[in-house]
Homo-oligomer: A and B are copies of this chain.
Amino acid sequence: MTKLDVTTGSLPGSEKVFFGSDSHEDVSVAMRCIHLEGGERPVVAYDTSGPYSDPNAKIDIHKGLAPMRRQWILDRGDVVEYEGRDVKPEDNGLKSEGDQPGVEPFPRGDLKPLKSKNGEAVTQLAYARRNIVTPEMEYVAIRENEGRKEAYLRDGEPFGAEIPDVCTGEFVRSEIARGRAVLVSNVNHPELEPMIIGRNFLTKINANIGNSAVTSSVAEEVDKMVWSTRWGADTVMDLSTGTDIHNIREWILRNSPVPIGTVPIYQALEKCGGIAEDLTWEIFRDTLIEQAEQGVSYWTIHAGLLLEHVPLTVNRVTGIVSRGGSIMAKWCLHYHKQNFLWDHFDDICDIAKQYDVAISLGDGLRPGSIADANDEAQFAELRALGELQKKCMKHDVQCFIEGPGHVPMHKIKENMDLQLEVCDEAPFYTLGPLVTDIGAGHDHLASAIGAAMIGWYGCAMLCYVTPKEHLGLPNRDDVKEGVMAYKVAAHAADLAKGHPGARLRDDAMSKARFEFRWKDQFNLALDSEKALSFHDETLPAEGAKIAHFCSMCGPKFCSMRISHEVKEAAQQGMDEMAEKFKKEGGEIYKKIDAAQ
């Protein structure tokens, strides 16, 4: 048996709660309820952690999560169970039939893949266009509201975003139908809790995991998935390369409460022994089917990097920095042929729509340095992605667009605006952007600056960057640092856009801060565990958690404590004293009167 330990247990100070639906009785949305002290109303928060943070859930990694969506999918009557493709040795990077994978297969039992019954689109986009509000859409609507029944507050600069006071299933449907949002949900990943990506919803974040040829194992990767969703990753991309990727992916998928994305060209290239020139449409197509049957919910496909774009990269400071992009560029040049992903894009859509795999249109030419930001190569590819977006819509295939990389602050908005324009507001999904090249060791931070800004400007999902970016493969701690940096960035974006629910938790936090409710502060923090441990480094005693000061300033200099005295004095005595002082002809009270 593969030994797999994953983190379970309630989130700090929180209870797993479930919200039902008025229209769909089988929809029950898991949420995190943060209980507060002092008679304060609890705060309901979006929860990506799945059953792992539910003490009542039985977790068995070898069985996987319950297939919550399976009945919804079957009830639609448009999919069929079938034998599926045989797993081949090369799927796990093995050279011949006799070789054994390093990672045992997930015990699927008699689980068989589903696909479209008659080749028609079984996508949320197809349903949305037929005016059907699916259970998934209803789930998403409830989830986005975080327990609100009305707007908490409207304050922000939305730059054209149109976020309603309260999200409804119908609104979710209309945004999907319009191509402005994507509900990533392969029919073969019924374990996922539906989520949505779009500028008129909460800003999402993605965490990349995956072994590389140099390091890491399946146990680590499954744990990284559970760990990253525990702290807020909305989707996870499995970027594994090397051997065992089929088996690792299956372990991840069967245990993942969030949609899983991949870059299929990585696996296809493994099947060709790493020789880009040996890539063929047939190998790639077979890989797509392999992954679709397993339950991958979105594929990054670098179909917009065209042969004619390659010369545009020759004088760049950092050339092509996307792995998939460089592979395709090499292929194109070798044969002097157009990118076969571009040529076969209709075929790709035809597969995607039969499983509801969304296509994440890859930015093979994203800039890898400030010097290359917003150059002709980048924008030429973006325009090609805009053409592919229209093809996806034609096929009823959900899609979103990948972007940024390294972009200085003053060039971020130009990126966002061009994407909105040429891609008809299809969701933008960006790496960072990093706002400087010299942040190595702190690139989670250098990129969180750009991520917060592009999120504000309209980007729907932010792909995290860890502190190890440019230097090595992230470990568990790095994954958490990356996730937290991006939770901060995404939330900052929601606040600035004026999301009608975003400030509720900030206000609860600040009120707790002003009232010295330390435990509430820890629990309301995005990183409850670190907040607690930092506090306890200096003041570990239990009593310090009710103290009206902290170690930053000590009791005498606590501005908040003094501020309470000021508030009391101002409320009680100000009027009286003012009256007295006014009678004596005090100057300053004239100013107050004038200001009022």
Contact = CB atoms under 8 A, between A and B. Distances in A.
A442 B485 contact: yes
A510 B566 contact: no
A394 to B, nearest CB: 21
A333 B471 contact: no
A74 interface: no
B510 A319 contact: no
Interface string A287-312: 00000000000000000001110111
| Chain copies in complex | 2
Nearest to A512: B437
Given A326-B559, A551-B215, A333 B569 contact: yes
A87 interface: no
A595 B308 contact: yes
B338 A552 contact: no
A215 B498 CA distance: 40
A506 interface: yes
B313 A566 contact: yes
Interface string A340-371: 00000000000000000000000000001111
A548 interface: no
Interface of A is mostly: helix
B212 A510 contact: no
A587 B437 CA distance: 38
B371 A559 contact: no
A488 B465 CA distance: 15
B441 A531 contact: yes
27 contacts: A214-B538, A214-B539, A214-B554, A266-B557, A269-B556, A306-B588, A306-B591, A311-B592, A314-B571, A317-B514, A329-B562, A330-B569, A369-B507, A369-B513, A370-B510, A408-B496, A409-B452, A438-B491, A440-B522, A440-B534, A441-B533, A442-B526, A445-B484, A446-B488, A449-B489, A470-B550, A472-B535
Given A212-B553, A371-B506, A472-B534, 17 more contacts: A241-B556, A306-B588, A310-B566, A317-B510, A319-B560, A320-B562, A329-B562, A329-B563, A336-B577, A336-B586, A369-B510, A370-B495, A435-B496, A436-B492, A439-B488, A440-B522, A440-B531
